[in-house]
Amino acid sequence: MASAALLQKYNVPVPRYTSYPTVPFWGNQLPANEDWQKVLLQTFAATNQQEGISLYLHLPFCESLCTYCGCNKRITKNHGVEPIYLKAILQEWDRYKALLPQKPVIREIHLGGGTPTFFSPEHLTHLIESLLMDCEVHPDHEFSFEGHPNNTTLEHLEALYKVGFRRVSYGVQDLSEKVQIAIHRIQPLENLVRATEQARAVGYTSINYDLIYGLPFQTLESIENTFQEVIALQPDRIAYYSYAHVPWKEKSQRAYSEEDLPKDAEKLALYQLGTRLLLEAGYQDVGMDHFAFPEEALCVAQQEERLHRNFMGYTTNQTQLMIGLGVSSISDLGKGYMQNVKTVEEYYALLAMGEWPQFKGYLLTEQDVQLRRHILNIACHGKTSWSGTASQALVEQTIFPALQDLAQDGLINLTSSDLKLTALGRNFLRSVCAAFDMYLQAPVAGVEQKPMFSQAV
């Protein structure tokens, strides 16, 4: 159990480490096309045939605004936007395919948002079939999508199943009516039950629920009730995220007062209660926010040290190249990142002009690559070693004092050559990763300093 002193010390703003360096430290530079394309092509040549590549598609439209949400979204009830947006995404993908020297082998597709099930089953079918045209599908492919229980229909599930999808993630967040009213996401339990049962009946092999702790008006009692209902439905995976309160970035979060939010100790208690209930129900703690049954692919990948983390969260496939399509999506090029513009208007305009619809990116230094490996090791495997690596001198000379402090506080077991998370340290996983984040240690010219990140817990 974390003490009040530890909570005060480590519950500070730190990244979630879906990338390193993290997005705020990229600045606003846009690498030259020839530079980022060279990195992309090198990674593609090294990995396409065996690993394959991943595609992330950002579908930003929602019919109503959930006030807690920090994602890039566009609120509309006009479904006439669907074919226009999908045409633009396919146009962007055509540009990538023209750049690649051979057929891409598709290992992963993930539809995120927004609300992907805003789009009709017919439009989603057309999107996937068009994406896969002139491509090969990896024999071990994993296609997944995010669904809203209120509007994910049997037709959605059947249509996506037919084009290869076997994983679905439902945004549950919380089942308390009071909390749902506060965050403007009214979602009756019966809709979740229906969406879950229909997915299983169609043949989906993995169902994930997203839950959030730290939302307005949550209590230990309400969280326990939510978990009792959720566990009874036996989803294969559960992601239990910390609510990121960033009202300076998301104006919708100003719809409720900070007085309505659980305080630091209360929020940690919500996390610990949810974790305990999940472990008692047979789930395993995979890492940063994620739980799964022992036989589930996520746990198996962790046991076999194949677990990977990127902008889609934890994944069982270590694809080094992930191409992001659509507004605000980010491509992970292996040794670099590129992010698309954030509004549909800019996105359409740049594509119409024959330009890449990007507005910033970052190419990694060799030190970045080394430190990213340590952060991924900790986030995915709960341990890392620097003995005999190119980063050994940097860790010993610069990072080791911070590691000694973490060890003194009981968050890690530390030797001169490696570290391993303790049970207590799992509560502060992001803070342990942050010890290897050189960009957090010193100001970076041209980069906004504060606030940038949500609290660690």
Q: Is the peptide bond before 24 cis (omega within 30 degrees of 0)?
A: no
348-357 burial code (b ≥16 CB/10 A, e <16): bebbeeeebb
Count Cβ atoms below 10 Å from residue 224 Cβ, excluding itself.
15
Q: Which residues of 305-334 are buried (b: 16+ CB within 10 A; e: fewer)?
A: eebbbbbbbbbbbbbbbbbbbbbbbbbbbb
Whether the Cβ atoms of residue 237 and residue 168 lie closer than 8 Å to each other:
no
Strand 284-285 relative to strand 290-292, pairing: antiparallel
Q: Return the half-sphere exposure (C-beta side, CA atoms, 13 A cut-off) of residue 431.
A: 26
74 is in an annotated binding site: no
Strand order in the sheet with 418-421: 383-385, 418-421, 412-414
Please, what sign has the CA dihedral across residues 313, 246, 79, 357? negative
Rounded to a whole number of angstroms, the CA Rg of the chain reads: 21
185 is in an annotated binding site: yes
CA dist., res. 160 & res. 395, Å (int):
46
**Cα–Cα dist 287/285, whole Å:** 6
71 is in an annotated binding site: no
- Please check if 62 is assigned to a binding site: yes
- The reply, when asked if residue 244 is annotated as ligand binding, is yes
Residue 66 is assigned to a ligand binding site: yes
Residue 145: both structure tokens together = 């999508």
Residue 113 annotated in ligand binding: yes
Q: What is the residue type of 174? A: D
Whether residue 134 is annotated as binding a ligand: the answer is no
324 known ligand binder: no
The two tokens of residue 442 are: 């010193």
Residue 360 CA to chain centroid, in angstroms? Answer: 19
Q: Are the CB atoms for 149 and 195 separated by under 8 Å?
A: yes
Q: Which tokens sit at 34?
A: 């020839």
Is 223 within any annotated ligand binding site? no
Cα 421 to the center of its chain, rounded Å:
22
Element (H, E) at 82: helix 81-99
Can you say which residues are annotated as belonging to the binding site?
56, 62, 66, 68-70, 113-115, 146, 173, 185, 210, 244, 330
Can you say which residues are annotated as belonging to the binding site for S-adenosyl-L-methionine?
56, 68-70, 113-115, 146, 173, 185, 210, 244, 330
Can you say which residues are annotated as belonging to the binding site for [4Fe-4S] cluster?
62, 66, 69
